[in-house]
Amino acid sequence: MQKKRIRKAVLPVAGLGTRFLPATKALPKEMLTIVDRPIIQYVVDEARAAGIEHIVFVTGRNKHVIEDHFDIAYELEDTLRSRDKKAALKLLEAIRPAPGTTSFTRQQEPLGLGHAIWCARDIIGDEPFAILLPDMLMKSERGCLSEMVEIYNETGNNVISVEAVPEDQTHNYGIVEIEGEQTARTFSITGMVEKPAPGTAPTNLFINGRYILQPRIFDLLGTQETGAGGEIQLTDAMLALMGETAFTGFRFEGETYDCGSKSGFLAANIAFALEDQTLAAELRPLLAELLKA
């Protein structure tokens, strides 16, 4: 059977970001900066590098700045042009998606991740698609989603990225049950549970925020009962989908930074800053000095 290409991705960006208040009072948490780019830009870049052609942002109130970030900033660009600031203009042009390749839809009520994804059903239509959770920032040579698209192209399966987490943290995440070697690059997923009670997780492999799913997930989300935290959970709908089509687990081997937490966000800033040679040369001695204390 001819496999449909993965062309579209959903980025749920409706969350309130309460952990970063007051910074996120007027600014969406996805617009917080890692070095010199908002978090959301890194995630969009990862999607585009994986061949994604259309990005669906599921937003909420107070998130219009995200839409502005991916639009022409007419006055700014005109001023830069009149001042002959070619490098800055080029930078802005490079990050701007082509017209018609983004969609924005609102999740009107905070009913859970599963509900946020379901809000994108009409825009995605009847084709397999990717989901990227913007809180999770990935750093790797090949790009997490690019590797997953390769696996999808080989198997046609649903593909979920996972990685190991210390056992005392499994209750914070979706955890998968697998068949085969936990250390292999890919394995089949035989079960999953959202935020298992401490001591009950089937493995220590957590779902780290990158998914490729069949559109059938939308039907299942549409009738999904609430689960962990009283919310409609994507993990529960995926478990139902598992009864119909296969799930392949992909063990991501790069670095993942959970930018939903302050320590993850700060670590991401340092890690990405150290990738820039000029900045790294200035930063290393400052960090060494701070760490002496």
Q: Where does this chain bind ligand G1P (CB under 6 A)?
A: 113, 133, 135-136, 173-174, 194, 206-209, 233-235
Instruction: Indicate the residue among 186 and 235 with the shorter CB distance to ligand G1P.
Output: 235
Residue nearest to ligand G1P (CB): 174
Judged by beta carbon, residue 134 or residue 143, the one nearer ligand G1P is 134
Please report which residue ranges of the chain form alpha helices under DSSP H.
39-49, 64-69, 74-82, 86-95, 113-118, 121-124, 144-155, 217-222, 234-242, 262-273, 277-292
Closer to ligand G1P at the Cβ: 24 or 208? 208
> Minimum distance from CB of 136 to ligand G1P (Å)?
5
Nearer to ligand G1P, 173 or 250 (CB): 173
CB of 256 to ligand G1P, least distance (A): 9
Query: From the CB of 203, what's the least distance to ligand G1P, in Å?
Result: 13
Which tokens sit at 220?
């299942």
Measured between its terminal Cα atoms, the distance across the chain in Å is: 62
Burial 55-79 (b: 16+ CB within 10 A, else e): bbbbbbeebeebeebbeeeeeebee
Question: At closest approach, how far in Å is the CB of 195 from ligand G1P?
Answer: 7
With beta carbons less than 8 A apart as the criterion, state whether 180 and 251 touch.
no
- Closest approach of Cβ 238 to ligand G1P, in Å? 9
Min CB(87)–ligand G1P separation in Å: 35
Q: Which residues contact 2 (CB under 8 A, 6 or more apart)?
A: none
Q: Which residue lies nearer to ligand G1P by CB, 77 or 255?
A: 255
User: How do 33-34 and 255-258 pair as beta strands?
Assistant: unpaired
For ligand G1P, the closer CB: 80 or 117: 117
3-class secondary structure per residue, 199-216: CCCCCCEEEEEEEEECCC
Q: Cβ distance 37 to 137 under 8 Å?
A: no
Give the nearest distance from C-beta 83 to ligand G1P in angstroms.
Answer: 42
- The nearer residue to ligand G1P, 43 or 80, going by C-beta atoms, is 43
SS3 state of residue 58: strand
d(CA 215, CA 235): 15
